[in-house]
Structure 1
Amino acid sequence: MTADAIAITGIDCRFPAAEGPGGYWELLMRSGDTARPVPADRWAASDFPCEAGFLSDPDVFDHEFFSLSPREAGSMDPQQRLMLHCAWRAVEDAGIAPHRLAGTPTGVFVGVMGSEWAQLTLTDLSGITAQIGSGNGYCMIANRVSYHLDLKGPSLAVDTACSSSLVAVHLAANSLLAGECDWAIAGGVNLALTPALGIFYTQAGLAAPDGRCKPFSADADGIGRGEGVGAVVLRRYADAVADGQPVYAVLRGTAVNQDGRSNGITAPNRWCQEAVVSSAYRRAGVEPSDVTFTEGHGTGTILGDMIETKALGALHSGRPRPMALGSVKGNLGHTEGAAGIAGLIKVALALHHRTVPASRFSARENPALNLPDQGLRLLKAPLRLGAGPVVAGLSSFGLGGTNAHAVLESAPRGPHARAGKASRPSDTREGSAHEGTPLGIPADRNPTDTPPPRPSGLGTPLFTLTAPSEAALRRNLLAQADSITRRRTPLGPLCWSSHRIKSGHTHRCAVPATDPTDLAARLRTAAEAPALAAPPTEPPFTAWLFTGQGAQYPGMAARLYRESPLFRHHFDAVDTVLLPHTGGRVRDLLLGADPAVHRTGWAQPALFAVGYALGASLTELGVRPDLLLGHSVGEFAAAVLAGALPLEGAAQLVAVRGALMQELPEGGGMIAVRSPAEPLREYVDHEPLVGYAALNGPASTVLSGDLAALGRIAEALEHRGTRVRRLEVSHAFHSPLMRPVLEPFHRLAEQIGGGVPGLPVYSTLRGKLLESEPMDATYWTEHISASVLFADAAAQLLDEGPTHLVELGPKPVLTALARQLTSHRPHPVHPLPGEQAGARDLAEALATLYRAGLDPDWEAVHPPQDRVLTRLTPYAFATDHRFWHRGLPTPPPAQRPKTPDQTRPAAATATDTAVLEAVAHVGGYHPADLSPDARLYEDLGLDSVAVMELKARIEQSLPALGELPVQELLSRLSTLGDLIAYVTEHHIQEHHVQQHHIQEPTP
């Protein structure tokens, strides 16, 4: 591929009877006809009764999505509204969330020929408003896109009549090659709002009586009008491939020229058409014989078709195989300013699908054109394109003589293209360009210099979706579910693409699934849920709780180990450092579901391995613990993740700790008592071989010690009606019976050492946050026989207000205990909730945190083979808002603003009423639908221009208020409630000033 090749990476379009690229392709393949009678909301059929290719519902616009007030949306040229929808969806189709382009040098180039909206809105001079001013003008069609997407590159509208949008593509491509922008959105739009242009075509002898273009046909009798909007996303080919973007087709070269002085300003010039095609071929580096098919301008006028085919024949006559020729105007009519983009999208889709659709009205070709002698043929049936590169041409000629031609080529396929290997502008070496791979790595670097790959792969794919409101989220969940049901796409790339493309909005959904059918069903279930997760205001504040001994069971975490590459990686790492001290693989013990896991010598290393591997996996996934707490042996994993112990040292301590305890003589046990600790003191103080093992809550105490002594205490407590449960343990942990292991353990612990945690650890040995105390040999030795002060430590941790309690262990134990200690009830998260837990449960834990505001490290979520962008159904905009007015726009019917709370302000005063009515008028809302929490800019769409009008209207309604200071007004306003409060305060101050002047005596 040449250095100046441009990739078409994203497409969106809307043509009559054709929604999106898929609908457009279906229309082309069935040779559909889109002409229909004039809709009643356009003009009286008696003015100009001809049929045309009219869009259905061009008045539909999701103004809330773009934070536009109903009044401003109703004042906008509907071509602006169509292009806003189209550009957003095209960017999504290119494999990127549009918000990620904010602030980038992305260019917008829009071809537009007609501004019939201006004819309807600017003729009544007394009715012109600021909104009508910004709602008109060619430039604003492009500028709206740049503004709402916050794009910083060139932004311009192009009017070269019928060639406008292909000239826009030409300018966009050149801007990319010149380095002015790194991304470009190029498109065109056309709406027929008045009969004026149709009447002009008739007067000029150009109009088809039936309103249909019949390109190159014996039946050709003139132009039929058509409507539509289309946009493509363009990138330098090397950049697109480097980022792993799918490519529809490649733009090899474009050219633009002018007819100059020909036989009338509207008459085409054969020699200039030939010259522009030849120039495009030279720039693309192709010979005419290389071109397989050309999408012609093909308006269906006798003169235009004749001149165009002769210009092409000058280059293609004498070919061994004639070049295929067609024109989409046979399907759509002449879409004027959008004609070039309609043709470009057709060619790109044909190259992508490797099929050229048949040309409508080709059955009876015009014999006067003498196509065979010109080296041309019309397609009467679809043309299947063979393997290998295919070159195509595209012509678009303007009414005033500006001609454009483009040469496209099919995108390379196979692993070479998929992995992103491309020729560099100054280097023919091939470089890696997988998504997530750092760019700019020299192609000749030694492969051994590459760092080892990060562990990745959650095990169960996670599909994410965001939207700006709950209603929008439900709507888009259903849209994705329907799309996934209809297509066959591997689940991993589908989910990888979803987080890349569908992120950035406030309302979030995340759904783990095992296959596309499962995913579609779960998306529908989520969409129909009574309540969706509230939009997060900040990331989750997590507390990690590490489960201690007693929670183990044979085969724990075995399914997760088998299903999750990420967990398996971290478990194998800790198992490897345990091996020298355990004499066997913890992994084999768990995978074999060996009951020996209940023996202390195995239980403690196994629990440490599971807790650490879960914590390390979550850390790799981008989850960071804000607070940590470990119950008994669970504290070792917490200490490692907090940086107080090295993994190898902790593994040795845990293994030796368990082995020393296992060697103790039998005869010890533990009982759980449903009672606070203090009432049990009278029993414990009389039994020197019994101690408080754990204080887990106000009515949850564990005693540990000599079995006979525990039996006496249990009998006495049961006699008093206190509930007692004997625990299945091998030894009396955290009791005086542990004293024999303290000295040998301390000697080892001194060699390993330990430091102050780098993260907040709430110690169950101290019952509080560890501040400057190191977790050293003294700490861990005392840890063996001392009481586990879980309730005290957990209560202090909960006072910090964590939003989520994440329990890291083989089953949930601590979360329930902790939630009994607080009234604010943090959300429980269990990555490994029980014996059958696997990768799906780990994915669901991550999904819970994502919905709460976490942004995971997606490269850890998805293995490399899944990091392939695939196209998703684009954003489904709301269709229940309509803006269509004859003549001067008036405020549309009341539209409920998108607000976080629909609580209405009590309009008890004249000031309140005046402010509400002013906001309602300026924005086009009904006062009853306004909430005090509605944000003036984000929710109600009132920009600085609207605020100035609002200021004047309030001052007019409240003359005693005086003039509101602009700078102070703008700086203090956020919500409607702020505005009401400010105006009320200012009104009171003004009243006091006036009273002061009245009471002041005259000199």
Structure 2
Amino acid sequence: MKSSDVTNWLVKEIALLVGRHPEELDIREPFSSYGLDSAKVMLLSGELGAALDIPISPTVFWDYPTIQELSFYLCERGLRGNDEVATASSIAPDQRESIAIVGMGCRFPGITGVGEFWEHLLRGTDAVREYPADREKLGEVKVDRQGGYLDGIDGFDYPFFHMSYREAIRMDPQQRLLLEVTWEALMDAGISPELWANTQSGVFIGISNSDYGRRELEAADGFHIHSVMGGALCIAANRLSYFLGLHGPSMAIDTACSSSLVAVHQACHSIWSGESQQAIAGGVNVILSNGVTSSLAEAGMLASDDRCKTFDAQADGYVRGEGCGVVILKPLTKALQDGDDIYAVIPGSALNQDGRSNGITAPNQSAQEKLLLSAYARAGIQPSQIGYIEAHGTGTFLGDPIEVKALGQVLSNGRQADDLIYLGSVKSNIGHLESAAGIAGLIKTALIMKHEVVPPNLHFHTWNPEIPRTGFPFLVPVKCEALKLGEDVYAGVSSFGFGGTNAHIVLGKPPLVRNVDQTSEMEPFVFTLSAARKDGLSLLAQKYVDWLQKAEKYDLPAMGAALSRGRKHHEHRLAIVVSSKESLITALQDYVRAFESSSLWHYGYVASQPAEAVFWFGDYDGGNPGDTGEEVIINDPVFRQSYFVVTQLYRNLADDTFQQEGKFNAFAKQYAYAQMLRHWGITPKSCVGEGIGRLTADVLDGRLSLVQAAQSLVHGEPTDLGQLEIGVDFKDIAICLLTVPPGVAQYANTVIVIECRDELACLQVQCDLYTKGLLVPTGSARTRKLPHMLPTYPWHHQSCWKTTIANAEEPNNITCFC
């Protein structure tokens, strides 16, 4: 049959099917313009196949969306594939280093944090449920369909982010989610946020929905400037940059369902171009309107049982979902230099558009194939290296086959028949998160690359009959499977916007980095926790108890390094000397139960403006502990070196008849302890002493040289020294070295006695200094920080929801400099 014959047949049959005259049909217009829906297309494809005596898939009407294009394809088959491969082969790989994913945070249905997310994926948990009842209590209209809904959508820890309640209730809950989840992602990365302040760090956020902001602007109870900012999509990204003090690009991106994956793509390119040093990328979605859901249901786009049955023969639509996901991105060399733990790397990505397909919301197989070829070419890999695909996979009867056909056309090339590719979609677990869908799939895939395990795909039993099985190397896992071994195995993540914007990102496994602290016995270290509220600190301690009791694999020194070097240290602080997992659990449990002083842990409150330290040195009275000549056994190198220098001076200056060895030893220890504290980073506001202690204070403040002080001590000159008179504020913290001089307590707020007879005593001192805000113990510098998937921050959620009652006295006076 000629192309013209196929054209005439299609014109005649479509005219009969839609009740129009053949001359009314334009063969260059999409099939959707004739009123052909999915059911009519399936009927037409069967009749066309019978007329041509060849099987015709209904998806071909989306691949070639006009009568003219479809007729040409059916009569001239085989030409298109060669052209596209040639086009893709001309794309040069990106000559840039990979981007490392160093931290992730998420809030998905029934899930808080990446650790919980991974556990749910491995267990195959279905998070779809009825619309939460607590939202009706907030005055929200019930959404009639089940979905992937978040709990406690009204909760927000607004004091933590330095906001007023007045502003918080007018903020879209999507902005609140982004603030908290971004903070969690930075903590997961082991990045204290103040380290990024005033840097060229970018923020790229995918966001499309604005139910809360639209309702707020349409409310009849008065208009407030906070409502404008609280509902503006751009502020979702800008508020992060403002709170963290970032100076790189800051933008909200709306390409519908592909928004968050497009945001990651843009973030990577911003880093590659040098526009950003590092970046925050993610997406968010919250459902507060029944109108959109009802419209989608009436259009037949939602699944009858509210489940995404991706790739399955029973696939009949998707289910809506909510969530927020954020990733922290750095250039790979920078991540390795910083000692970051890495989930996965991004060697390349691609974006494109469906163009003029069979309707603006219709997918296009040809465009998807070109997208895949471009992404793999730019990543510098072969399609045969792909071991896992996180598909867009909404679970529609015709959308899934179009996507899998595009994947099969590209990924089958150069692959052995038994070289299977795992195919999954996180939508089967948590629903379709729309503007946050892509980031959910990316986080899942990064976890797969990190752990080399593919979790099960839910609601899959039998392949969709429109998905070709012959020659397509795909396997949908129904239980946990091992990802193919080897460093050259990659994964791909797809996300398609309903307006036709497509994104595909390539992920590689993290580089193998050997931890240098592989010792059979763990050396004791200081374990630190902190929170903005005291009850929050107790909750956080309990979280770590629960985590440790369940953990099968753990590295306590690496965890300690992450908590000390990669966390913001808040006002309420807890410090514990850890020698084993059991001792840590016991101390944490003791703190949770006691809330009072204990020998197992140290607690303290540090004001926003921490007190300063004053070094106090007492006189030698012949009975002071530690002033004899016993061997110094602590291993601090600065202490030992300083002590050695003073004792060498003593041996050079004193003759055999000198009888003041105890005094000289007390002076040597005072000086050595002071130098050790300075090396730790504690710079005293002043040094105060009496007797021998005044001599030590004079040396540390530069009024005497060490040699002059030693000579004075040998010759007996300091015996008449009184107390050095220097002003001391009561808010100051007195650090007494070796002994507590009389009357110190009346001058200073807190007294800390420094005398470390062994390594454990030295660590106890560090605990005390940490809880007073004077020191952050770092532990061994050789220990890599492994912060990933540790318990999340204990937010103090308070209900922040806009009421319908106007407050006439509320100020409305934000200054705008637009």
Query: TM class, shorter-chain normalised?
Result: 0.7 to 0.9
2:168 is the alignment partner of 1:239: no
Aligned to 1:842: 762
Where 1:369 maps in the other structure, the secondary structure is: coil
Q: In 2 relative to 1, CA 559–332 (structure 1 residues): closer, same or farther, beyond 3 Å? A: farther
Q: Which residue of 2 is the match for residue 8 of structure 1?
A: 101
State the 1:252 CA deviation: 1.0
Q: Does 1:151 align with 2:74?
A: no
Given that 1:513 and 1:840 are in contact with CA atoms closer than 8 Å, whether structure 2 keeps it comes out as: no
Give the aligned residue type for 1:113. S
Q: Which residue of 2 aligns with 1:818?
A: 743
Partner of 1:461: 525
2:564 counterpart (490, 493, 499): 499
Provide closer, same or farther for how the CA distance between residues 194 and 797 of structure 1 changes in structure 2, counting only shifts above 3 A.
same
How far did 1:558 drift?
6.5
Task: Report if aligned partners of 1:327, 1:343 keep a CA contact under 8 Å in 2.
Answer: yes
Task: Say whether the 8 Å CA contact 1:324–1:379 is kept in structure 2.
Answer: yes
For residues 157-196 of structure 1, the aligned pairs below 5 Å read 157-196=252-291
- Whether 1:408 and 2:507 are equivalent positions in the alignment is yes
Deviation at 1:182, TM superposition (A): 1.4
In the TM superposition, what is the alpha-carbon distance from 1:264 to its structure 2 partner?
0.7
1:331-346 correspondence to structure 2 within 5 Å? 331-346=429-444
1:41 deviation in Å?
A: 4.9
Is 1:388 the counterpart of 2:487? The answer is yes
Q: How does 1:397-546 map to 2 (within 5 A)?
A: 397-415=496-514, 461-487=525-551, 489-503=554-568, 505-526=570-591, 528-529=594-595, 532-533=604-605, 535=607, 537-546=609-618
**Whose relative contact order is higher, 1 or 2, with alpha carbons under 8 Å and at least 6 apart?**
2
- Write out per-residue CA displacement over residues 805-853 of structure 1, whole angstroms, 9 at most, x where no aligned residue: 32223xx3x43x233xx744542211117xxx43343334344344334
Q: Which residue of 1 aligns with 2:188?
A: 93
1:617-661 residue CA offsets vs partner (Å, 9 max, x unmatched) = 11111122333345544555444433355546655775xx3xxxx
SS at match of 1:865: coil
| Aligned residue runs from structure 1 range 800-819, under 5 A | 803-809=732-738, 812=739, 814-815=740-741, 817-819=742-744
Identify the residue that residue 119 of structure 2 maps to in structure 1: 26
TM-score for the superposition, normalised by structure 1: 0.65
Partner of 1:882: 799
| Unpaired segments ≥5 residues, structure 1 | 420-433, 435-458, 585-597, 658-744, 746-780, 892-916, 923-944, 950-1003
- Aligned-partner residue type, residue 783 of structure 2: D
Query: 1:649-664 residue pairs with structure 2 within 5 A?
Result: 657=714
Letter in 1 for 2:182: A
Asked if structure 1 preserves the Cα contact closer than 8 Å seen for 2:156 and 2:796, the reply is yes
8 Å contact kept, 1:253–1:407: yes
Cα gap change, 1:890 to 1:569, in 2 (>3 Å) = farther
Contact 1:271–1:311 (CA under 8 A) maintained in structure 2: yes
In the alignment, the residues of structure 1 paired with residue 685 and residue 145 of structure 2 have an alpha-carbon distance, to the nearest angstrom, of 69
Counterpart in 2 of 1:623? 682
- 2:754 is aligned, of 825, 831, 855, to 831
Aligned to 1:271: 366
Alpha-carbon distance in structure 1 between the residues aligned to 2:629 and 2:446? 50
Q: 2:473 aligns with which of 357, 370, 375?
A: 375
Partner secondary structure for residue 97 of structure 2: coil
| Alpha-carbon distance between aligned partners in 2 of 1:599 and 1:800, rounded to the nearest angstrom | 40
Q: Paired residue for 1:359?
A: 457
Distance in structure 1 (CA, Å) of the matches to 2:628 and 2:660: 16
Contact 2:346–2:506 under 8 Å retained in 1: yes
**In 2, Cα distance between equivalents of 1:8 and 1:88:** 15
Tell me by how many angstroms 1:604 deviates. Answer: 3.7
Mark the CA change 1:600 to 1:583 in structure 2 (over 3 Å): closer, same or farther. closer
Q: Distance in 2 between the 1:125 and 1:377 partners? A: 54
Counterpart AA for 2:150: L
Secondary structure, counterpart of 1:325 in structure 2: strand
Counterpart CA distance in 2 for 1:484 and 1:200 is: 47
Larger Rg: 1 or 2?
1
* 1:350 paired to 2:350: no
Task: Please tell me whether the aligned partners of residues 540 and 849 of structure 1 are also in contact (alpha carbons under 8 angstroms).
Answer: no
Say whether the 8 Å CA contact 1:540–1:853 is kept in structure 2: no
Rounded to whole Å, the distance in 2 between the matches of 1:623 and 1:239 is 29
CA distance in 2, matches of 1:558, 1:301: 80
SS of 1:84's equivalent? Answer: helix
Q: For residue 870 of structure 1, what is the aligned residue in structure 2?
A: 787
Q: 1:29 to 1:869 in 2, by over 3 A?
A: closer
In 1, the alpha carbon distance for the partners of 2:460 and 2:674 equals 67
Q: 2:27 maps to what in 1?
A: none
DSSP 3-state at the match of 2:475: strand
How far the C-alpha of 1:359 sits from its partner, in A, is 1.5
Given candidates 701, 704, 709, the residue that maps to 1:642 is: 701
Could you tell me whether the CA contact under 8 Å between 1:104 and 1:151 is conserved in 2? yes
Among 137, 148, 156, the alignment partner of 1:61 is: 156
Distance in 2 between residues matched to 1:464 and 1:89, nearest whole Å = 17
| 8 Å Cα contact 1:92-1:874 kept in structure 2 | no
Change (3 A) 1:307 1:37: same
- Distance in 2 (CA, whole Å) between partners of 1:849 and 1:377 is 56
Report matched runs for 1:652-801 at 5 Å. Answer: 657=714, 745=715, 782-783=717-718, 786-789=719-722, 793=723, 796-797=725-726
- Take 2:178 and 2:701, find their aligned partners in 1: how far apart are those partners? 51
Q: Residue 394 of structure 1: SS of its match in structure 2? A: strand
Q: Is the 8 A contact 1:475 1:876 kept in 2?
A: no
Matched residue pairs, number? 705
The percentage of counterpart residues that share the same residue type is 35
CA shift digits 1:101-127 (9 cap, x unpaired): 222222111112222223432333563
Q: Which amino acid aligns with 1:462?
A: V
Aligned with 2:133: secondary structure? Answer: coil
What is the aligned counterpart of 1:550 among 622, 627, 638?
622
Partner of 1:38: 131
Matched residue of 1:135: which SS?
helix
Alpha-carbon displacement from aligned partner over 1:689-714 (angstroms, at most 9, x marks no partner): xxxxxxxxxxxxxxxxxxxxxxxxxx
Whole-angstrom distance in 2 between the partners of 1:80 and 1:633 = 60
Distance 1:533 1:167 in 2: 43
Give per-residue Cα distances to partners, 1:362-410, cap 9 Å, x unaligned: 3322243124522222122222132534311111011111000000001
Distance 1:889 1:101 in 2: 40
CA distance in 2, matches of 1:804, 1:504: 19
The structure-2 alpha-carbon separation of the partners of 1:270 and 1:64, relative to structure 1 and needing over 3 Å to count, comes to: same
Does the CA contact (< 8 Å) of 1:485 and 1:516 recur in 2? no
Hey, what's the Cα distance between the residues in 2 that align with 1:48 and 1:464? 44
CA-to-partner distance for each residue in 1:693-750, whole Å, 9 max, x for gaps? xxxxxxxxxxxxxxxxxxxxxxxxxxxxxxxxxxxxxxxxxxxxxxxxxxxx5xxxxx
Contact 1:371 1:377 in 2 (8 A): no
Computed over aligned residues only, the root mean square deviation of the Cα atoms, in angstroms, reads 3.4
C-alpha contact 2:352 2:367 (8 A) present in aligned 1? yes
CA distance in 1, matches of 2:320, 2:406: 25
CA contact (8 A) 2:308 2:319 kept: yes
C-alpha distance in structure 1 between counterparts of 2:608 and 2:231, whole Å = 38
Residue 114 of structure 2 contacts residue 789 of structure 2 at CA under 8 Å; is this kept in 1? no
2-side partners of 1:825 and 1:206: how far apart?
A: 70
Distance in 1 separating the partners of 2:606 and 2:425: 50
